[in-house]
A and B are shown apart, each in its own frame.
Chain A
Amino acid sequence: MNKSVYASPDQVSETKRHILTVLVDNEPGVLARVIGMFSGRGYNIDSLNVAEVSNDENISRITIVTHGTSEVVSQIEKQLLRIVPVHSVTNLDQEGSSVEAEVALVYIYISETNKKKVYQLCDLYRARKIENENNTTIFEIAGASERVNRFIKEINEITKVEIVRSGPVAISSIQKNEEE
C-alpha cells in the first residue's frame, strides 16, 4: 500500500510553525480572497508578505507564516487551492529544505550614554545604518526571523526603539533544473 499525499494525517500532532508560499494571478481582490479564507475558517496568520514576482506573467507570490497541527495546515493548503486565481501552494516546512529571510528597520533613540553599546551591537549583528535626510539613527537588519528576534531583544535592553518588520519570505532550496 503506497502512501498517498492524501493519506490520513496522524491522529495527534503538535502545533507547529509553517511557511506557506502561494503563487497567484495578480488580479484585484486576490489577497482579500486568501486572507478572507483564513479569517473565515478560523485559521491563523502570523505574518504575511505579498509582491509581484514576474512581470510578464502577472504572477504574485504570497508568503504566509501560520501555525497549526499538520491536519489544520493540510486543510489550509487544500482550501487555498480552491481559490480560483491560486496557481500553487507549497508548504516549505514539509519540503524540509528552504531558506527564509526577513527585513527589519529599527529607529533607535540614541544618546551619548548608549551610543557606544548600540553601535557595538549593530556591528555584531551586521545591522546596516541607513543614512537619511533627518540624520536620525535607523538601522536595517536582514536574516532569519530568529536572528532578528534576538537583535530586537538585545537592542531593547539598551534603549528605546521603534521597529517595522517585513515578516519572512522563503524559498525552497532544493536543486531544480532550469526547464522547470
Chain B
Amino acid sequence: MNNEITGAEIVLKSLAEQGVEVVFGYPGGAVLPIYDTLFKQNSIKHVLVRQEGGAIHAAEGYARSTGKTGVVLVTSGPGATNVVTGLTDAMMDSVPIVCITGQVPQHLIGSDAFQECDTTGITRPCTKHNYLVKDVNKLSSVFHEAFTIAQNGRPGPVLIDIPKDVQFASGTYEEKNKIIIPSHRLFEPSPDFEKNKIEEAVELISKAKKPIFYIGGGCINSGPKASKLVREFINMVGSPVTMTLMGLGVVGSSDKNSLGMLGMHGMYEANMAMHECDVMINIGARFDDRVTGRLDAFSPNSKKIHIDIDESNINKTINVDVPIIGDVKQVVEKMISVWKDKKYKIDTDSLKLWWDKINKWKEVDCLNYNNEGKQIKPQYAVQRLYELTKNTKTFITTEVGQHQMWAAQFYKFEEPNRWLTSGGLGTMGYGFPAAIGAQVGHPDALVVDIAGDASILMNIQEMSTAVQYRLPVKIFILNNEYMGMVRQWQELLHGGRYSESYTDSLPDFVKLAESYKAVGLRAKTTDDLDNVINQMIETKNTVIADIWVTKEENCFPMIQSGSAHNEMMLSKDQKQDKKSAEKGKILV
C-alpha cells in the first residue's frame, strides 16, 4: 500500500521515465490534478500556449526538429476538440506525439456534463491509437505502450484520455521495462523481411539506364543515419535524386545528384526525370497526389521499387514492381552491402546520356522569375533569407500556401530535420507554433517561420507564448494581402473571380508585434530587404518581419490537378489545354 501514488503522479512519473523534457499544454478543470502535480516538480518543463491548437503544432515542431516524441497536455471538451486538427496533421505527416487529455469523472461520462465530449470517439480516426483509462493501475502501462506506439514503425499521434477521478485515485506505478507489449500491437516489420526483394531491387538498380531516386519523409523519420546511408547509396549509384516536400534535406540541395523537389510545384527537371526514368527507387515516400499528378500517366515506362515501413502504402495508388517493407535505415544499409558484395556498377555510358538529358531540362530554368523593379518579389525575399542565414544553424517552418512552396523551392536545405512544414494535411497556422516548438528544442538555433499574411493570423495568439518564454522565433511574412494560393487557383481555374481571397483590414504587423512586446520590422522595397533580414537575425527577441511583396505573383512551375509530370506549366502564359483543365477543376 505504501507504494501507491495518485494517478496524476503516475502521469508525471511515466513522462519522466520516458525521458520527456517538455510538455506543451493548457490547463482546465479536468486536468487540474495533473497541473497540481506538475507544479510540485522540476524535471519536466511546461510551455503554456494560448490555444490548444498551438500546443499540438508546437509539439509537432519540437518532435520533428529533435526526433523526440512531442507531448501535449490539455483539458476535456474544447481542450480536446481544439487538438483534433493537430492530431490529424501529425497522423498525415507521421509525427510522434503523445497527447494527454482530461476527461470528466467516470460517473459523469455520458451525461453531457460540462466540458464533456467523446474524446476517444472523436479522435479515433486521427490517431494511431487512443485510450480512455478507467483504472488507475493501468495508467503507467498505458503510457509506456502509448510512447512505444507513437515512435514505433511509422510514427504517429497517440491520445490518452484520463477521467478526473482516475487522476485523483491511488494506484501503483509500473516501470517501463516491466511492461510487455504484445507484438501484434506494435505492427513492426521484422528485420529479415523480404530479404530476397532487397537483392532483386539492387540488381534492378544496377541494370538501370535511367534511374531516379524519389525520397520522402520516411527517410527523415528513420533518423539522421538513414539520410547518411541514402546519400551514400545514391553516390555509389551516381543516380539523380528528387525529394518530396517532406523529404527535403535528406540529400543536400547542393549535392551534385540532387534535382530538388518534385511534384505539383516541383522542379521541371525532377518531374521530367520521374516521367522518363526506367527504374524508380521510392524510399520512404507514399505516391501522394501532390507528387504523382495524373495517375494513369505517372512514370509510364519505369520499374518501381518502393521501400516503406507501412505496408498499406504499397500499391495504394501506384502499383509497384518491387515492394520492400521495412525501416529505411535497415533496408538501405542492406542494399549498400548487397551492392558492394556483388560489385555492381551501373552502365556509365547510359548514365551519362541520362544526365545529359536531365541537364537539358535544367536549362529550362524553371524557377526563373521576373525580378525587375523595386517591389519585392516573394521568391527574391526567400532567396535573400537563404543567403543571409545559410551560415547559421537555421530551422525553417512554414504555414501553408504560396509562401510554403516558394520556401520549398528557394530555400536550400543541406540537412534533415531542419525543414518543418505541414505536408499531408496542409494546415494553415502550423508554422508559427511549430517554430515555437523547434525553438524550445533548439534554444540557440535560428528558427524562422516563413509565413503568409493569411496563415499567420490563424495562430497569431501564440505571440504571447513566444514572448513569455523568451523564444526568439522569427516570423517572416510574405505579405501580399491575399490568400495567395487560393487566388492563384481562382485565376487559373475560376476565371479570375477572386471570391473571398483578398484580406481586407489586415493588422499592422509591426504594431501587432510591438503590442506583444516583440519587435516588428517592415520591408517595403528591395532596398529595405537585406537590412530587415539582418536586423531580424540579430534581434534577440521574437520578431515579426512584414515583407511587402508583389500582390499577384503566381507560384510556378506547376502541374495543374489532373495533369501529368510532363505537362508542367512554367508560366501564366502557358495555358493548360481546356479539357484537362476542366477535369482537373474538380480535384483539389
User: Which A residues form the contact surface with B (CB < 8 A)?
Assistant: 1-2, 4, 6-9, 11, 25, 28-29, 32-33, 36-37, 40, 71, 74-75, 78-79, 81-82, 84-88
- When C-beta atoms are compared, the residue in chain A nearest to B196 turns out to be A2
B132 to chain A: which residues have CB within 8 Å?
28-29
B312 to chain A: which residues have CB within 8 Å?
75, 78-79, 81-82
- The A-contacting residues of B in range 305-328, CB under 8 angstroms, are 310-312, 314-316, 319-321, 323, 325
Query: Would you call B187 and A81 a contact (CB within 8 A)?
Result: yes
B149 to chain A: which residues have CB within 8 Å?
84
Is residue B194 contacting chain A, with contact meaning CB distance below 8 A? Answer: yes
Is residue B495 contacting chain A, with contact meaning CB distance below 8 A? Answer: no
B323 to chain A: which residues have CB within 8 Å?
4, 6-7
Query: Would you call A6 and B321 a contact (CB within 8 A)?
Result: no
Known: A1-B200, A4-B194. A81 touches B124 (CB 8 A): no
Contact of A6 among B128, B185, B325 (CB under 8 A): B325
- The A-contacting residues of B in range 145-195, CB under 8 angstroms, are 149, 184-185, 187, 194
Contact of B187 among A28, A29, A33, A84 (CB under 8 A): A84
Query: Would you call B319 and A9 a contact (CB within 8 A)?
Result: yes
Bound-complex Cα distance A81 to B309 (A): 13
Query: Would you call B319 and A11 a contact (CB within 8 A)?
Result: yes
How many chain B residues touch A (CB < 8 A): the figure is 27
Is residue B129 contacting chain A, with contact meaning CB distance below 8 A? Answer: yes
Which 9 A-B residue pairings sit nearest by Cβ, starting from the closest? A78-B312, A8-B319, A84-B129, A6-B323, A87-B184, A40-B125, A78-B311, A84-B185, A79-B312
A-B contact pairs, 7 of them (CB 8 A): A4-B323, A28-B132, A36-B124, A79-B312, A82-B310, A84-B128, A84-B129
CB distance from A24 to the nearest CB of B (A): 9
B374 to chain A: which residues have CB within 8 Å?
none
Known: A1-B200, A33-B124, A84-B128. A8 touches B315 (CB 8 A): yes
Contact of A36 among B125, B194, B197, B200 (CB under 8 A): B125
- When C-beta atoms are compared, the residue in chain A nearest to B321 turns out to be A8
Is residue B110 contacting chain A, with contact meaning CB distance below 8 A? Answer: no
Bound-complex Cα distance A6 to B196 (A): 13
Query: Would you call A4 and B197 a contact (CB within 8 A)?
Result: yes
B194 to chain A: which residues have CB within 8 Å?
4, 6
Bound-complex Cα distance A86 to B184 (A): 7
CB distance from B153 to the nearest CB of A (A): 9
Secondary structure at chain B's binding surface: helix, strand, loop or mixed? Answer: mixed
Bound-complex Cα distance A54 to B233 (A): 49
CB distance from B192 to the nearest CB of A (A): 14
Bound-complex Cα distance A84 to B187 (A): 8
Contact of A71 among B128, B315, B320 (CB under 8 A): B315
B321 to chain A: which residues have CB within 8 Å?
8
CB distance from A89 to the nearest CB of B (A): 11
B107-128, CB under 8 A of A: which get 1 and which 0? 0000000000000110011001
Query: Would you call A82 and B187 a contact (CB within 8 A)?
Result: yes
B316 to chain A: which residues have CB within 8 Å?
75
Contact of B124 among A7, A11, A29, A88 (CB under 8 A): A29
A6 to chain B: which residues have CB within 8 Å?
194, 197, 311, 314-315, 323, 325
A1 to chain B: which residues have CB within 8 Å?
200
- When C-beta atoms are compared, the residue in chain A nearest to B311 turns out to be A78
CB distance from A74 to the nearest CB of B (A): 7
Known: A4-B194, A6-B311, A36-B125. A29 touches B120 (CB 8 A): yes
Contact of B315 among A29, A36, A74 (CB under 8 A): A74
Query: Would you call A88 and B184 a contact (CB within 8 A)?
Result: yes
Bound-complex Cα distance A26 to B175 (A): 25
A25 to chain B: which residues have CB within 8 Å?
185
- When C-beta atoms are compared, the residue in chain A nearest to B314 turns out to be A6
CB distance from B470 to the nearest CB of A (A): 40
A88 to chain B: which residues have CB within 8 Å?
184
B200 to chain A: which residues have CB within 8 Å?
1
Query: Would you call B185 and A85 a contact (CB within 8 A)?
Result: yes
CB distance from A137 to the nearest CB of B (A): 40
A81 to chain B: which residues have CB within 8 Å?
187, 311-312
A2 to chain B: which residues have CB within 8 Å?
196
CB distance from A85 to the nearest CB of B (A): 7
- When C-beta atoms are compared, the residue in chain B nearest to A41 turns out to be B125
Query: Would you call A9 and B315 a contact (CB within 8 A)?
Result: yes
CB distance from A29 to the nearest CB of B (A): 6
Known: A33-B124, A84-B129. A8 touches B311 (CB 8 A): no
Given contacts A6-B311, A29-B120, A85-B185, 9 further A-B contacts (CB under 8 A): A4-B194, A4-B197, A6-B315, A29-B132, A36-B124, A75-B316, A82-B128, A82-B312, A84-B187
B197 to chain A: which residues have CB within 8 Å?
4, 6
Query: Would you call A32 and B320 a contact (CB within 8 A)?
Result: no
B311 to chain A: which residues have CB within 8 Å?
6, 78, 81
Bound-complex Cα distance A180 to B325 (A): 26
B125 to chain A: which residues have CB within 8 Å?
36-37, 40
B319 to chain A: which residues have CB within 8 Å?
8-9, 11
